[in-house]
Amino acid sequence: MGLTIPAFVGRIAFSALAALIGVIFALPLLWFLFAPFNARAELGLAVPAPWTLSNFFTVFGNSYAVQALWNSFIQAVGGVILVGAAATLAAYALSRSSIPGKGAVTYILLLFSSVVSGSAAMVPIFLIISAAGLMDTHLAVILTFAGGLLPTAMFILRDFIDSIPKSYEESAMVAGASPVQAFFDVALPVIRPGIVVIVVWSFVNIWGSFLIPFILLRSDSNMPASVAIYSFYSEAGTPIVTLLAAYSLIYSLPVIALYLFVSWRFGFRFFGGIKA
């Protein structure tokens, strides 16, 4: 590669600029990388001396903190199962049946789901949950998220199923399989990668969100980590930084793990915005 001198200088300038932006993006996160391992962490940035895991032991010794992580898990997994199952069935029906008006259904769903966002619909969602007698239950959070995430999940999955040739299921049915058998035994294994994408996407969405559980839950025993984290304040109203930092890291781990999984398994290409 014969680079001319201006082109060479240009490439260095580009690299320097990209690296500089990377560093600026890293700055707010540095505290979050160091503080969990520092037994005397404060809001200031300090390299731990010595590095320690004691903050993590404190978190795991705090039954309320552990309960909150468990609550996050229940709500996220419950929501994911509901979204995954309902979206798979619905997307398959929209792709493979000849129900009249299914194109319009997809269009209207997409329209509604982008109009009815969590922050615009907080009043009616609160009223619906309250009318159903589900206030302050895990089910309230699970159902609300499932309803909100389903339209997008169905849309992504329908696109995915449309791209798979029908001949797989057709040959199974020629061989005598019923449509339901063709769905469970032939189609389902083929569309599994699409389902994985939706499952990861909805898990990350529910796990990280604050507003819906903040509105729908009341008692400490039901709070997910995203809301419970605000109780790690001393009586004087200052944050207990050591606990907070370690807890933030533990709470982030599933999201990081899933991101790495998707990026390893699927190359983290563009999934139409894996986050809503």
Nearer to another protein by Cβ, of 65 and 182: the residue is: 182
d(CA 229, CA 223): 9
d(CA 75, CA 136): 12
Q: Which of 49, 74, 25, 58 is CA-nearest to residue 245?
A: 58
189 preceded by a cis bond (ω within 30 of 0): no
Quickly count: other Cβ atoms within 10 Å of residue 176's Cβ.
7
C-beta of 113: minimal distance to another protein in Å? 6
Tokens 């008006």: give the residue.
Answer: 101
C-beta of 229: minimal distance to another protein in Å? 6
Tokens of 117: 């966002």
Nearer to another protein by Cβ, of 28 and 61: the residue is: 28
C-beta of 208: minimal distance to another protein in Å? 3
Nearer to another protein by Cβ, of 53 and 111: the residue is: 111
Q: Which of 262, 261, 243, 224 is CA-nearest to residue 62?
A: 243
C-beta of 74: minimal distance to another protein in Å? 16
C-beta of 265: minimal distance to another protein in Å? 16
Burial class (CB in 10 A: 0-12, 13-18, 19+), 146: buried
Nearer to another protein by Cβ, of 53 and 256: the residue is: 256
Q: Which of 208, 190, 227, 176 is CA-nearest to residue 274?
A: 208
Burial class (CB in 10 A: 0-12, 13-18, 19+), 35: buried
C-beta of 61: minimal distance to another protein in Å? 21
Nearer to another protein by Cβ, of 39 and 166: the residue is: 166
Nearer to another protein by Cβ, of 1 and 61: the residue is: 1
